[in-house]
Amino acid sequence: MFAFIKAFVAGFVSTLTFHQGLLWIFIAAQIIPGGTPWNMAPVPPFDIPSVLSLAFWGGLWGMLLWLLIRRALAAGYYVGAIILGAIGPTLVYLFIVQWLKGQTMTEIFDGLSMARVGVGLALNGFWGLGVAVFMRVMHPPR
């Protein structure tokens, strides 16, 4: 049980460091236009800063990611974290979160581009790597 609390913390902190740090790099390098890393704008329903809401969800995803990678060995641990971190949250954001925010499936598919999907995969894959790194620090293998 304590490992899952650590996994939540790892996902939360990885969102604030790895995910948002790479977003900042992408914006500074003009790889993506606009955007706001570490966005402090309040989001409903509790009016907490957007980045903290994102980090909370990153913590929950971190628990799921830990459940899936915890027994992987050597490089498979990190590679698995990157691949699963990239694919899971990106697909859920693109197809479920956008739909819940009121977009139709037609609008979602019309808005898809290789660049948008690629950036999502990169940000979330780097987040997954961060979760794996933080979990190794807080919960080393036996």
Residue ranges making up the domain that contains 82: 2-138
Q: Please write the tens of the pLDDT for every residue from 10-68.
A: 999 999 999 999 999 999 999 998 889 999 999 988 999 999 999 999 999 999 999 99
- Structural domain count of the chain: 1
pLDDT score of 7: 97
Which tokens hold the place of 22?
A: 């790479």
Question: 102: left (phi > 0), else alpha (psi -120 to 50), else beta?
Answer: left
pTM reported for the whole predicted model:
0.92
Nearest to 51 by CA among 59, 42, 64, 60: 42
Q: Which of the four pLDDT bands, split at 50, 70 and 90, describes residue 140?
A: confident
SS3 31: coil
Element containing residue 42 per DSSP (H, E): strand 42-43
Q: Which residues make Cβ contacts (< 8 Å) with residue 65, sequence separation at least 6? A: 7, 11, 81, 84, 85, 88, 128, 131, 132
Q: Please write the tens of the pLDDT for every residue from 80-124.
A: 999 999 999 999 998 898 888 888 888 887 878 888 899 999 999
pLDDT score of 115: 86
